[in-house]
């Protein structure tokens, strides 16, 4: 899920990015197709029939909280487009429902039980439990089409029966309240990955989009990674700083994931994975599940954001004391400078780069649908995955390669994490001192 930063910080960051050189850089033309449309479509369809998409990150549970306050007894997840004239954004339909998951060939989904960053970690723990509850209730309400899953074998069994295997992923380490005991209990509730941070630093880990505080992971943060490995919970490094990525890879004994990230060499957003980290993935065995969020995958949009922030700051100075005039002038600027649109080709560019640096065995799909305003053109919602796989087939990827990206790589990672945890079955939990005071009666 992508949230806006503080206005001052956003403007400062945008001005730093808006260099004349960057502004002049033109997007490279798309590569010529290696495979004709009919053959590419057939290859993609065969791949997704054999290996449906296992998506690493979907924020529909957050939509249930924000739209319906988790009151879902009367909620119909079959077709959330009904009653809406557009998808996403203000007043738009959700990106996800059962009909579009089927159209998108999604066979398994990590549902994000995200809650906003909260320094009051006790409140974050409660809210995360509420999100686990509403997600489990959503799955239970739709037994003909969804099945709760905890293991790779259960995922494959559900997919064979044509159901959407449904797993839980936590997003933001503040949700464990700096407690390994709480971490273990979330795993017992069914959480099968945890993103170590969200957009802000936490007491034991640095985020990608915050000023460095710890230089990566603290000693406790390293213990979090080790304990996640011990219990078989996937370590998710989307959202974390490069130093945190490196520290986690140093500590990890099982493959890591990036549940929804792109390649920083293609789009230099701090949320994306640098080549220095991609180069380490083969040794670790992990996967980058490539995101569809436009600002993470398209540099033209990032540069437009920078120009917009700069213009807004300029107009506030020019029209000091007259916010209505500044707003009117900004409306005129936006009309003359429309926001660029990301494309399916942008997503494919990130996949092809990760393939070149880390290898085909280290790529997955993590759209971030319902955690952004709207996806790229042609992939506005979860129904667009076949179009992406057709584009990858046009670029010469084989059916076997597409199957790896769709779900076989992440299933391998899950099995490796499960196997490593099984090998430590006799090892006791990592214990840390409880630092918060306990009131005596």
Residue extents of the structural domains in the chain: 32-298+341-423, 300-339
Task: Assign 3 a pLDDT band (cuts: 50, 70, 90).
Answer: very low
Residue 238 has pLDDT above 50, yes or no: yes
Q: What are 292-295's contacts with CB under 8 Å, separation 24+?
A: 292/342, 292/347, 292/367, 292/368, 292/369, 292/372, 292/375, 292/376, 292/379, 293/2, 293/260, 293/368, 293/371, 293/372, 293/375, 294/341, 294/342, 294/346, 294/372, 294/374, 294/375, 294/376, 295/2, 295/269
Q: What is the band of 28 on the pLDDT scale with cuts at 50, 70, 90? A: low
> pTM of the full predicted structure?
0.91
Question: Is pLDDT at 117 greater than 80 in this prediction?
Answer: yes
Average pLDDT over residues 264-293: 98
> Which two three-digit tokens encode residue 365?
């799909």
* Residues forming beta bridges with residue 290, ordered by sequence position: 261, 365
Q: What is the pLDDT of residues 198-210, one digit of tens each?
A: 999 999 999 999 9
Confidence category of residue 29, pLDDT binned at 50, 70, 90: low
Which positions are catalytic?
57, 59, 171, 198, 239, 260, 368
pLDDT band at 35 (very low <50, low <70, confident <90, very high): confident
What is the rounded CA–CA span in Å between residue 47 and residue 202?
40
d(CA 122, CA 125): 5
Task: For 398-428, write each residue's pLDDT tens digit.
Answer: 999 999 999 999 999 999 999 999 999 999 9
Percent pLDDT > 90 in the chain is: 88
Rg for the chain, CA atoms, rounded: 22
Domain 32-298+341-423 homologous superfamily, CATH: Metal-dependent hydrolases (3.20.20.140)
* Closest C-alpha among 66, 192, 166, 171 to residue 124: 171
**Average pLDDT in the 209-233 region?**
98
CA–CA dist 354, 262 (Å, integer): 8
241 touches 247 (CB < 8 A): no
Q: What is the mean pLDDT of residues 13-27?
A: 38
219 burial class (0-12, 13-18, 19+ CB within 10 angstroms)? exposed
Note the pLDDT tens digit of each residue in 136-169: 999 999 999 999 999 999 999 999 999 999 999 9
Predicted confidence band at 4 (pLDDT cuts at 50, 70, 90)?
very low
In the structure encoding, which two tokens stand for residue 139, read together? 């799955």
């Amino acid at each position: 899920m992508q949230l806006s930063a503080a206005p001052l910080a956003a403007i400062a960051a945008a001005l730093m990015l808006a260099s004349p050189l960057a502004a002049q850089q033109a997007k490279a033309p798309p590569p010529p197709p290696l495979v004709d449309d009919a053959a590419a479509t057939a290859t993609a369809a065969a791949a997704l029939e054999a290996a449906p998409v296992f998506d690493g990150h979907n924020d529909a549970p957050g939509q249930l909280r924000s739209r319906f306050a988790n009151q879902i007894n009367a909620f119909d997840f079959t077709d959330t487009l009904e009653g809406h004239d557009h998808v996403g954004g203000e007043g738009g339909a959700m990106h996800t429902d059962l009909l579009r998951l089927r159209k998108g060939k999604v066979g398994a989904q990590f549902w994000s039980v995200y809650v906003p960053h909260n320094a009051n970690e006790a409140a974050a723990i409660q809210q995360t439990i509420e999100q686990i509850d509403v997600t489990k209730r959503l799955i239970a309400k739709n037994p003909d089409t969804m099945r709760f899953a905890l293991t790779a074998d259960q995922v494959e069994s559900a997919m064979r029966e044509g159901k959407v295997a449904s797993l839980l992923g936590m997003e933001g380490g503040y949700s464990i309240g700096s407690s390994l005991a709480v971490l273990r209990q979330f795993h017992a509730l069914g959480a099968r990955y945890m993103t170590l941070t969200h957009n802000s630093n936490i007491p034991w880990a640095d985020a990608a989009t915050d000023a460095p505080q710890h230089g990566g992971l603290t000693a406790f943060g390293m213990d979090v990674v080790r304990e996640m490995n011990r219990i078989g919970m996937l370590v998710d490094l989307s959202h974390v700083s490069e130093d945190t990525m490196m520290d986690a890879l140093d500590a990890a004994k099982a493959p890591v994931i990036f549940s929804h990230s792109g390649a920083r060499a293609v789009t230099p957003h701090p949320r994306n994975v640098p080549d220095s980290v991609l180069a380490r993935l083969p040794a670790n065995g992990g996967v980058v599940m490539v995101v569809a969020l436009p600002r993470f995958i398209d540099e033209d949009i990032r540069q437009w954001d920078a120009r917009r922030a700069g213009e807004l700051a300029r107009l506030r100075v020019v029209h000091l004391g007259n916010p209505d005039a500044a707003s009117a002038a900004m409306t005129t600027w936006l009309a003359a400078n429309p926001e660029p649109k990301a494309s399916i080709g942008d997503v494919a560019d990130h996949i092809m780069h990760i393939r070149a640096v880390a290898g085909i065995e280290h790529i997955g799909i993590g759209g971030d649908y319902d955690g952004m305003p709207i996806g790229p053109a042609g992939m506005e919602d979860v129904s667009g995955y076949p179009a992406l796989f057709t584009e990858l087939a046009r670029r010469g990827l084989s059916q076997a390669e597409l199957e790896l990206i769709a779900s076989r790589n992440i299933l391998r990672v899950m099995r490796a994490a499960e196997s490593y945890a099984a090998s430590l079955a006799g090892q006791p939990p990592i214990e840390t001192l409880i630092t918060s005071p306990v009131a005596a009666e």
